[in-house]
Chains A and B, each alone.
Chain A
């Protein structure tokens, strides 16, 4: 099935560093969601974006809905060890039903 392009695939950083990841698509989306998945658990919703250009924060996390509606970005500031996990973007197609298309994931490792 269709999967969005997410980059980078993985990151290994030091505690306290800032992190940026992005998601791109050839399709236009009307909503972008960012999820975090810990090992052995389901994805947990972090941030939801509803219109082009929107910038939304959730604590140390900030996400942006790209102007073209074909991309989105997630930034994590001052990373901590519990930020470790896989981050997925998900876009909702511009149709009546809110079908989610997920990205390939960014694996984040944080060294204390």
Chain B
């Protein structure tokens, strides 16, 4: 069974540029999460999707961050415009549904903003 797939794995951009990250969850998993991981810290939740609905986006900085999961499968996280402080690893995870206690993570996208 394929795991969570993310692309790109690495991205280097200049500040004020836009950037997008893509995630394909484990097949059959209805719940999808985007996490932010700063250097030396554990992941922190940005947004959670139940199928195509964003049900918890309280930690997402909505002035510059947006996300979508149009067909309830793949998801895209966008930053526009990027700032220096956005440099971090962006992790996608999925679980069977919101009651599932175990979340499975993708390899992440490491973003560097210059």
- Report chain B residues within 8 Å CB of A33: 101-103
Which of B40-48, B65-73, B77-85 touches A?
B40-48
* B56 close to chain A: CB less than 8 A: yes
For window 39-66 of B, CB contacts with A under 8 Å fall at 40-45, 48, 55-56, 59
Interface string of A75-97 (1 = CB under 8 A from B): 00000000000001010100001
Tell me what chain B mostly uses at the interface: helix, strand, loop, or mixed: loop
* A45 close to chain B: CB less than 8 A: yes
**A contact residues, range:** 20 to 34
* Known A1-B59, A31-B101, A92-B101: A41·B107 in contact at CB below 8 Å: yes
**How far is B108's CA from A42's CA once the two chains are assembled, in angstroms?**
6
Distance in Å: Cβ of A61 to nearest Cβ of chain B: 16
Across the interface, do B4 and A42 meet the contact criterion of CB distance under 8 Å? yes
Across the interface, do A105 and B107 meet the contact criterion of CB distance under 8 Å? no
Across the interface, do B108 and A48 meet the contact criterion of CB distance under 8 Å? no
Kindly identify which residue among B6, B44, B56, B102 contacts A48, using a CB–CB cutoff of 8 Å: B102
* Known A45-B102, A92-B101, A104-B41: A99·B56 in contact at CB below 8 Å: yes
* A19 close to chain B: CB less than 8 A: no
For window 99-113 of B, CB contacts with A under 8 Å fall at 99-108, 110
| Closest A-B pairs by Cβ, 6 of them | A102-B42, A42-B105, A1-B44, A31-B101, A43-B105, A42-B107
